Structure 1
Amino acid sequence: MSAPSPFYREAGAGPAVVCLHANASSAAQWRPLQESLAQRFHVLAADSYGAGKSPPWPGERQMALSDEVALLEPVFQRAGDSFSLVGHSYGAALALRAALSQPQRVRALVLYEPTLFNLLDAERPAPNAADGIRATVARAVASLAAGDPDAAAECFIDYWMGPGTWAATAASRRGPILASIVNVRGWADALFGEPTSLDAWRQLQVPVLYLVGRQSPLSAREVARLLAGALPQAQLVEFAELGHMGPITHPQRVNPLIADFLQRHCGA
């Protein structure tokens, strides 16, 4: 049986940049960034398992972040021997995992709130700052089991973007989210089950732009407290007015910082 192959969007020429999306999203979230970078960079934006046009996770065992990274290897091969990674939320966790497994290939990292919740449990057993997302996932999984994906999506989206967000979401935008929300248990298992310790991230010698929204849920901000302090070459930037979905809701604020960082560290 052939290995699963991811879908990815590609544009531009120059130093390679691979963009990885958040949960309940797809590579399409990076279209504005891809368009702005394409004159100077070779930009590839990939769909993870069960997102966009990539295949669902085919295994019977629990999926790990390392499995997601393995799916993306054809994208990394297309990017070449050296590339940078841009990731948001789950995609930022994947970017970190990929960089740790092959640091010789990764020139720089841009991370908007990686959701490595295992770090919170490792620092302090529950109850802790991960309780909000843990409870959200449990409610979403229960809703899926009851045959109500709409309620599952509402739990998940409103946790990250505030009460009432799902109710206000246009019908045209709901379809892809409802299609991907079935993966919510797998996402949580991969993030909470990630074995990499905080000490391992202290060894990652790669320039990092770590972006945080001060309006984000506590879980994401507490991961930032631990991780931004551990990454030895991290530059932390906080947006006072933005939340966890800043790259999607306010690309005009986030994307220029990403472009400037990549030009300084990876420009031709």
Structure 2
Amino acid sequence: MTGVWSAAAASPIEGVTAMPYAEVNGQRLYYEDSGSGDPIIFSHGFLMDHTMFDAQVAALSGNWRCIRWDERGHGRTETSSAAFTYWDSAADLFGLLDHLGIERAVLAGMSQGGFLSLRATLTAPERVRALVLMDSQPGVEDPEKVAAYNQLLDGWTAVGMTDQLAEIVAAIIIGPGFADTPAWQQKWRDLDTTTVRQTYTTLVSRENDVTPRLAEITAPTLVVHGSNDASIELSIAQKYAAELPNAELVVVEGGGHSSNMTHADQVNPALEQFLGSLNS
């Protein structure tokens, strides 16, 4: 079993009621469960972990039961060495909900967390109360971007995470001007590159494009996307949001790929309004 940064410290969110592990599908999933009310489960992006939702949990845990977890190959989760897909990750999500005794929840996913949340919704729509997609997409990776990403990963494996490489990765995954970027860059420097390759393979070899199935997703959906996302262009979000039957799009002005972290002041009010509408 492997973890990416298993020694990482838990985030200091008030009211965390549990910080345990769940044995699910041959993995040992780390999760945090805080707040009270109807459940919402947060799924993070590639090279990130559950702490990227600190600002959302702080804002919502007074009215919502907030669950966030480290996906396969990330954070404190202990992951088998076998190859996996985002359909497997979707099954992990439902396994975690089963472990917690939750039948139905709001699924909120950022980037690859959105990939697995979309697949979870297509697998068991009756278990999804609503869907929040943050800087994500239903399609596959652009081949030109994959070629560039391959070069970055090869350099990382060969010489380690240099300062120059760390800046490039941060520009793609986070965006400019974020005060906590150095802390994330240090996490990346500490990663095991074998595990990174495992999760990267899942990312760039997504076996299908679920865009043709968007019409099946009738759950209320909030699409949140940074205007300056360098990883997934805003035009992609605009297109797929229009194809979802029951979706609204919120553009985060100035936001990069991790707009929920860097521009929480824009994301959180939109998220609170959307979640409030579910109870109206």
TM-score by length of 1: 0.83
Q: Are residues 1:9 and 2:38 paired?
A: no
Give the letter aligned to residue 118 of structure 2: L
Question: What are the within-5 Å matches in structure 2 for residues 135-214 of structure 1?
Answer: 135-150=147-162, 152-161=165-174, 169-170=181-182, 172-180=183-191, 182=193, 183=196, 186-187=199-200, 189-214=202-227
Q: Does the alignment pair 1:113 with 2:135?
A: yes
- Structure 1: give runs of 5+ residues left out of the alignment: 121-129
Task: Give the deviation of 1:162 after TM superposition.
Answer: 5.2
Aligned-residue offset at 1:136: 3.3
CA distance in 2, matches of 1:47, 1:252: 24
Shift of residue 218, structure 1, vs aligned partner: 6.5
Distance 1:132 1:255, change over 3 A: farther
TM-fit CA distance, 1:158: 2.4
State the alpha-carbon separation in 1 of the partners of residues 181 and 74 from structure 2.
19
What corresponds to 1:92 in structure 2? 114
Which amino acid is 1:110 matched to? V
In 2, Cα distance between the equivalents of 1:188 and 1:225? 27
CA distance in 2, matches of 1:135, 1:17: 35
Contact 2:135 2:232 in 1 (8 A): no
Larger helix proportion, structure 1 or 2? 1
Match of 1:123 in 2: none
Residue 65 of structure 1 corresponds to 86
Which residue number corresponds to residue 62 of structure 2? 39
CA gap 1:235/1:222 in 2 versus in 1, 3 angstroms:
same
Q: How many residues align?
A: 253
Structure 1 residues 177 and 97 mapped into 2: Cα distance closer, same or farther (>3 Å)? same
Q: Deviations over 1:66-85 (max 9, x none)?
A: 12122223322226111101
Two-structure CA RMSD over aligned residues (Å): 2.8
Query: After superposition, what is the alpha-carbon deviation per residue over 1:107-147, rounded to whole angstroms, capped at 9, x for unaligned?
Result: 001111214441x7xxxxxxxxx255313321222113313
The 8 Å contact of residues 106 and 206 in structure 1, kept in 2 or not, is answered as yes
Partner SS, residue 72 of structure 1? helix
Q: CA deviation at 1:178?
A: 2.8
Residue 24 (structure 1) aligns with:
47
- Counterpart Cα distance in 1 of 2:58 and 2:36: 12
Letter in 2 for 1:178: R
- Report if the CA contact (8 A) 1:116-1:194 is conserved: no
Q: Which residue of 2 aligns with 1:262?
A: 275
**Alpha-carbon deviations, 1:136-180, whole Å to 9, x = none?**
3212221133132336544422234458989x943x443322345
Contact 1:50 1:56 (8 Å CA) reproduced: yes
Normalising by structure 2, we get a TM-score of 0.79
Deviation readout 1:212-256 (Å, 9 max, x if unpaired): 111112633243143212211110111232222211111121112
Q: Residue 219 and residue 242 in structure 1: after superposition, are their counterparts in 2 closer, same or farther (change >3 A)?
A: closer
- The amino acid across from 1:94 in the alignment is L
Q: Partner of 1:134 in structure 2? A: 146
State the Cα distance separating 1:105 from its structure 2 match: 0.6
Distance 1:187 1:208 in 2: 27
Secondary structure at 1:212's aligned position in 2?
A: strand
Structure 1 residue 32 displacement after superposition? 2.0
- Letter matched to residue 16 of structure 1: P
